[in-house]
Amino acid sequence: MLEWFIGWIANNAFLHRKFLEYFCAWEFVWQFEKEGSISIEDLKTEVFGKHWQDETWHEVLRLIAGMIDAKFVGEILNYLMVQDGEEEKFINLFLAAKCLAEVRNRSVIASVANKLFGKVKDLTKYDLWYYYTYDNAQETKLVQEVRIQAVVTIAAIWKDNRDALHCLKDRATVDNYQYVRDAAIEALVSNFKDDPDTRSFLKDLTTADNVWNVRCAAIEALASNFKDDPDTRSFLKDLTTADDGNVRRAAIKALVSNFKDHPDTHSILKDLTTADNENVRCAAIKALVSNFKDHPDTHSILKDRATADNVWNVRCAAIETLASNFKDDPDTHPFLKERATADNKWYVRGAAIKALASNFPDDPDTRSILKDRATADKSDYVRGAAIKALASNFLDDSNTRSILKDRATADKSDYVRGAAIQALASNFPDEPDTRSILQDRATTDNKWYVRGVAIQALASNFKDDPNTRSFLKERATTDNQWDVRGAAIKALASNFKDDPNTRSFLKERATTDNQWDVRGAAIEALAKHFRNQPELFEIYYNCAINDPFERKRDYETNPRRVALEIIIKQFLQHPQTLLLRDRAENDLDEEVRKFAQQKLAELEK
């Protein structure tokens, strides 16, 4: 019997975990309500306080909230709301929302629930405490995650609240960020599908919104959730001829996903593979193979588009789709080999190389083709693609490392040398000469791009080497190219922020470097890694007032504007309104004046 029970537990691990979570929660509740051995303060500080940062405990904490009196849950929610959860992506607030969902009578703690709603609503507009550009992938991704989770949480936890509906509609129409609007659309239709206005709201967005991504999100939501509406299919079919190619592409995808079995769908798709818009042709190709892979025409259509289409990105889409869906067809491998060398467009040859490496790594010809293309192709993009494919798929080949070393120094293209350096550092950090190669490339390569790549690779892979920090400092001051000095500053700040000398070095670079990009990089690094430090206010203030930047091109980022934004985000206790007024009226750069005027208007609301 015991053996049977142990076997049952092993085979029902999910149920076992659920039982454990329930009994764990019940034990705390028993001690709180029945035994009186723990108080509400203990529950807040010792149970929730010690475990809110650990997501593996969230189910237990949520169960506790569902078992105790609502007034005590209110106290716990207030406790969670005052915790500093920013480093954990506000997990404290999202946990609080989950706990609120367990309360059967929210009216008992209505004021607390409203306060929490306001805090989560504020997170739909969350931003970081330092300046960053949208193309900074890590920062942008973090902000997106928080904002999107806030939107999803509002829809899920407050779906019976009309304020939540209004909030979602507002975010879906006026938010400055497309991804928030997309999330709001999805959350709206998932949680308020039965609202009489939802369908018409979505239809309006599909045609009237001036951002194509939002129109596409609305198309997808409309098709997925109102498939049975008699007008939906004809509406989507009409959109396949819309002026905007991206909208047409979304309509194609939605039409096929939701009306695959309609007798006209295949013929519509087939016609669209030769439509006048390249985005539409790409979408039609992908939809055709996703939904009609076994149709006798599909394979031949893909091969035709992979060779005969006059636009390279359509040929790429056809090649990628052909390789991943018809790998076992005897013609696919030789076809890809031919495209990897014969296509007159470098991007298509690169796509064929990637497809070969991904789908036919064990074929003896693949490796030799990659080696040949890594040196012989006339396009630096193709040589770079071949190098990356070699490193990803043939690390155990004795020649791979020597090819990377050779390409890191001998290739005439800085892009290829950079790709080889990155592959070498990522895949062979323990080889005895890798570090010396990186250090050599970081100082002697005649292209700033390669020196910058080598610096980043050195900092990421050899942080513990005692010479790395001093090398970065040296590059941050002596390299004659500002891009390299900036890369060294960012690498130093990211990898050595706990070193007591890093902050003073950044302060010095923020004021003395003769190039605005480097001064700006140092200011950004200070704000990012040394948050809310009062002694840095003077540095930011002086930069906002005195940095000598003079705009020569529209895309340049003024350090004065960067410093001003940091002051607004990190030093609310300072009378920044006076500084904003000064910059709004007196800054020589029109962009800074506009930014200051905008922030003034927001503060005065």
471 and 507 Cβ atoms separated by less than 8 Å: no
pLDDT of residue 8: 43
- Each residue of 564-604: pLDDT tens digit? 889 888 887 666 657 777 887 888 888 888 888 888 777 76
Quick check: is 158 in a domain?
Answer: no
Which range (7-16, 27-36, 92-101, 190-199) has the least confidence? 7-16
pLDDT of residue 4: 45
Q: How many domains does the chain have?
A: 2
Here the tokens at position 196 are 């009489």
For 506-567, the three-class secondary structure string (H helix, E strand, C coil) is: HHHHHHHCCCHHHHHHHHHHHHHHCCCCHHHHHHHHHHHHHCCCCCCCCCCCCHHHHHHHHH
- Each residue of 21-46: pLDDT tens digit? 777 888 888 888 887 888 999 999 99
- Each residue of 322-357: pLDDT tens digit? 999 999 999 999 999 999 999 999 999 999 999 999
Quick check: is 552 in a domain?
Answer: yes
pLDDT of residue 571: 83
Q: Which of 409, 350, 354 is nearest to 380 (CA)?
A: 350
Q: Domain of residue 99: give its range.
A: 19-123
With cut-offs at 50, 70 and 90, classify the pLDDT of residue 182: very high
Quick check: is 536 in a domain?
Answer: yes
* pLDDT cut 90: percent of the chain above it: 72
- Each residue of 287-328: pLDDT tens digit? 999 999 999 999 999 999 999 999 999 999 999 999 999 999
Q: Give φ, ψ of 134 to 5 degrees.
A: -60, -25
Per-residue CA distances from 512 to 185, 300, 342 (Å)? 48, 63, 53
pLDDT of residue 389: 95
pTM, to two decimals: 0.74
Say whether pLDDT at 14 is over 70.
no
Quick check: is 41 in a domain?
Answer: yes
Tell me which of 70, 93, 123 is where a domain ends: 123
Quick check: is 39 in a domain?
Answer: yes
With cut-offs at 50, 70 and 90, classify the pLDDT of residue 468: very high
Here the tokens at position 297 are 């025409």
With cut-offs at 50, 70 and 90, classify the pLDDT of residue 16: very low
Buried b / exposed e across 108-141, counting CB within 10 Å, b at 16+?
ebeebbebbbebbbebbebebebbbeeeeeebbe
Spatial separation of the C-alpha atoms in residues 123 and 346, rounded to whole Å:
44
- Each residue of 225-271: pLDDT tens digit? 999 998 999 999 999 888 888 898 899 999 998 999 999 899 999 99
Quick check: is 235 in a domain?
Answer: no
pLDDT of residue 9: 44
pLDDT of residue 528: 94
Here the tokens at position 600 are 């003034």
Tell me which of 72, 104, 123 is where a domain ends: 123
Quick check: is 260 in a domain?
Answer: no
Dump the DSSP string for 26-49.
HHHHIIIIII--S-HHHIIIIIIH
Tell me which of 89, 123, 157 is where a domain ends: 123
Identify the residue whose tokens are 């306080």. 49
Quick check: is 444 in a domain?
Answer: no
